[in-house]
A and B are shown apart, each in its own frame.
Chain A
Amino acid sequence: MAKTYEEINEKIRDKQAVVVTAEEMIDIVKNDGAKKAAEKVDVVTTGTFGPMCSSGAMLSVGHTTPRIKMTSATLNDVPVYCGLAAVDLYLGATELIEHGPQNKVFPGEFAYGGAQVIEELVQGKDVVLRAKAYGTDCYPRQKLETLINLSEMNNAVLLNPRNAYQNYNVAVNAGDKRPIYTYLGVLRPRLANANYCSAGQLSPLLNDPHYRTIGVGTRIFLGGGVGYVYDQGTQHDPSVPRGPGGVPLGGSGTLAVTGPLAQMRTEFLRAVSITGYGVSLSVGIGVPIPILDEEIAAFTGVSDAEITAPVVDYSHNYSNNTGEPLARVTYEALRSGRIEVQGKQIRTAGLSSYAKARAIAGELKQWIENGSFTISRPAEPLPGVDSGVKTRLLQIRPPQQNNHNRRGSARR
């Protein structure tokens, strides 16, 4: 018996919908079977919380008197991109504070950057906006220095071109020299530790492996507020080989998401300083999955024991796009604190917080149960396994002398 989005939303509005988290769904499917589970459950909530570099904030501040068309600007000394319009700014999460130490004393601490500014804005703190302009007849002002607060901006949205990775690598250091400092944390040599970064059985796209319900326009939990999926994420790669239940064997699907910063809370949006690597932003995402039929119920019953991730060497293979994974391990093993790779017991640690993922799925469940959050039918599905969409490496083609110079001087 299939259900429709409309039927489920009617139940939600009547506060009659049966909502469970993806974690709770595992036992329901195991004990009752997918068919019964599909009849019983209306919505499964998922969650994930981990650092995702491809993040930023689109900010539109008010016009000044007289007006300015900013050509360069900083927020708390972190450069923002102004090549949009007079007072529209893009603050990238990984942008670093100007003249900071970066990795000069290795490994750098990366104490401050765009992500930290975003977190301070969400905390309600004033930040310093400095801007310069060349001045035009309609925008005469050439300099601006002011305090500004999130509440004073006309628009401020989180714009996350890639998030919620469907599965990911487990990182190790197979080298024998020194600890390496990666975006997946500190990895000590000779396979001393392994770091992973996925909410596994709670992760949105691992519960909807073929993107049957998550698509463009899906309403989601974002950073503590309400947001939307606006597109497939960058590097979305549905072509990655799949195991039983459609579970991709490595990083594959991704989501591009957006939502207003004003609704967000630092509980679910946090700046991170990754030693030796840079700054990044952790954003909590929760996606509801309407249980339209038995197949979707079966997908949402997936457990950590059925999801495997490749163990990848980050001392050489990852950076150089070579080599095979050293092993495949389940998230159940990863979460137990130990995995075996090449006969060696290795301690594991997460970068994605399972405790937070659980809190997000739980909060989204409450929103739906109390009737305040309904399910949206995607306006467009995400490219699936048969779409031909694939992530490619950049083939470097050295520009020729005669056709690369298209700047002003060439036109004279």
Chain B
Amino acid sequence: MIQKSAILNFPKDLLDRPVISNVIRNFEVEVNILQASITPEEDGRMFVIFRGGKEAVEQSLAYLKNSEIRVYLPVKNLVWDENRCVHCTACVGQCPSSAFTVDAQSRQVVFDAARCIACELCIPACSYNAVESISEHLAKTGGQ
């Protein structure tokens, strides 16, 4: 089982084709749509997470690319510094995609990079400088 988040940009003439349901049907992957903005006159945009066997997820992405959908795979959106994190949970209340969650037992915050859609809402919410955008991080560390 692997999990991959992706941002999909649909050209407007593709909007009436059932690409997502085709993916689900043909490749047997689970598709979790976290955010979608689709209006008939414009290009559409969607944040999704694919979950399934490694091959199935890769085939799905290849299929989407072939149907002229622009697929953007954020490699790493956000850098969470576990050592600076105090597990206050302030980020959890902001995160729209459940990339940040609280473990019910340990009460510690868990970050799942695959779910992060890079909205950056958590950055101003964290008072402990424990989250940084990847660009900020690269600027500071020189690409480390």
Q: Which residues of A contact B (CB under 8 A)?
A: 49-51, 107, 181, 185-186, 188, 193-195, 270, 272-276, 280, 282, 335, 337, 347-356, 358
B102:A337 contact, CB within 8 angstroms: yes
Interface flag for B127 (CB, 8 Å)? yes
Contact of B128 among A186, A272, A352 (CB under 8 A): A272
11 contacts between A and B (CB under 8 A): A49-B86, A185-B127, A188-B94, A193-B94, A272-B127, A275-B124, A349-B94, A350-B89, A355-B86, A355-B106, A356-B87
B86:A348 contact, CB within 8 angstroms: no
Distance between B101 CB and nearest chain A CB, rounded to angstroms: 9
Interface flag for B92 (CB, 8 Å)? yes
Complex Cα distance, B88 from A350, in Å, reads 5
Minimum-distance CB pairs A-B, first 8: A349-B93, A272-B127, A355-B87, A275-B124, A350-B89, A355-B107, A354-B107, A353-B88
Q: Which residues does chain B contribute within 8 Å of A347, judged by CB atoms?
A: 92-93
Q: Which residues of B contact A (CB under 8 A)?
A: 86-94, 102, 106-108, 124-125, 127-129
Number of A-B contacts (CB under 8 A): 69
Complex Cα distance, B124 from A358, in Å, reads 26
B87:A274 contact, CB within 8 angstroms: no
A195:B86 contact, CB within 8 angstroms: no
B92:A351 contact, CB within 8 angstroms: no
Distance between A224 CB and nearest chain B CB, rounded to angstroms: 13
Interface of chain B: mostly helix, strand, loop or mixed: loop
Q: Which residues does chain B contribute within 8 Å of A358, judged by CB atoms?
A: 107
B92:A337 contact, CB within 8 angstroms: yes
Distance between B85 CB and nearest chain A CB, rounded to angstroms: 9
Q: Which residues does chain B contribute within 8 Å of A275, judged by CB atoms?
A: 124-125, 127
Contact of B86 among A273, A274, A276, A353 (CB under 8 A): A353
Residue of B nearest to A354 (CB): B107
Q: Which residues does chain B contribute within 8 Å of A194, judged by CB atoms?
A: 93
Complex Cα distance, B128 from A355, in Å, reads 15
Complex Cα distance, B109 from A337, in Å, reads 12
Distance between B124 CB and nearest chain A CB, rounded to angstroms: 4
Residue of A nearest to B84 (CB): A270
A355:B125 contact, CB within 8 angstroms: no
B127:A273 contact, CB within 8 angstroms: yes
Complex Cα distance, B86 from A352, in Å, reads 9
Complex Cα distance, B37 from A103, in Å, reads 33
A351:B88 contact, CB within 8 angstroms: yes
B106:A351 contact, CB within 8 angstroms: no
Contact of A195 among B93, B106, B108 (CB under 8 A): B93
